[in-house]
Structure 1
Amino acid sequence: MNTAIRASFQGIFEEELMVAIEEVAQIKTFEAGAILIDFGATIRAIPLLLSGVIKIMREDIDQGELLLYYLEKGDSCAVSMDCCMGQKISSIRARADSTTTVAFIPTYYLDEWMGKYKSWRNFILSSYSNRFNELLGALDSVAFLPMEERILNYLREKQKVAESNVLQVTHQEIANDLNSSRVVVSRLLKSLEKQGYLLLQRNNIQINNVL
């Protein structure tokens, strides 16, 4: 019995499916910054997140990166599922945002379990729905929000997944995730600090309750 899998998915998957997952899953732990899935890679397994946080990035036309969404405990990546079912190469990069443990399920079981286990089918459909809504939010943010508001939304989401008011993040990392420049991000962070939203410290940002 794998306690990590059960702690993350108990109540989501039926017992028979839980046993099946324990039999075929390959569990790996990644340090912060490690790349789990890269652009152009062939995806051979579906990730089920047991602990930690994963950032899902999209490559732009200038080969920069744009943050699409975060994966947390109990999540999976709908984009990687789509690549598996369509036998397409990866269009995303998945990077560990903290020390992260993942159970990888061979793609062979994706379709087989859809017809065999109701809880797996519901989980896959729910993952698609949740990630689609997050993608729409990312698109709206890029298309309609000023950069200062995008930074605030980014910090709110970062605060949520980190479960901490102190974020270990650099100005350059924020710029990379939002496909902006460090100079612009630093200027806007200083403006937000003056407005009382946050406190800038070396290599981290302390979020105030007003955020």
Structure 2
Amino acid sequence: MKRLLSFLLIILVTSVFAQKKYYNQAVNSCAGKSSDELIDKCIKDSYLLNYDFTTDESKVISTKDIKRPIVILAAAGWSAPCIGQIPALNEIVDIYHNDIQFIMIFWDKKGKIERFKSKVDSRVLLVPAGDSDKVEKGNLDISGFVHKLDYPTAYLIDKTKKFVDVKRGAVIPSKTVTREEANETNASDLEAFIQQVLK
């Protein structure tokens, strides 16, 4: 009887793990889908594989070693919303840096992210595109992490490495939106976004 129960337990555990979908496979299997379909049907509920990100200071950060929720922000130096969201990001990082690991991956190479480095809170890990990374306007592959959405995009990953949500875009100042209003909206949106993994 013990052997039968052990055998059934092994089959159950194997089938549970076999059903787990991982981020890159999920994204690559959804080629041709709209951004909303990619997020809702492919990214959400997938799991983060281990990625070894090399920061702008040449330090390797392995996602498997991060034991708290993670926010991966995809950014590009040519994107006004990416630059515009920095004050709100800094405000949120100042409050939640002990609870969440913030990682910003870039479309840009190391030499092109200096203006981000001087403005972004130092507790955000900055990961520029390396020489072997694939960088195209509609596709980014940083250390194996594939990004196929617009800029900025924030990926919210819980402690179990499951993708909980994806947030796209940021408010920028305009004729109808002041800088203060944009910062306030961006901070409020980002805080609501990360609250999902802090409950």
Shared fold (TM-score greater than 0.5)? no
Q: Which has the higher contact order (CA 8 A, sep 6+)?
A: 2
- TM (norm. structure 2) is 0.33
- TM (norm. structure 1) is 0.32
Q: Which has the higher helix share?
A: 1
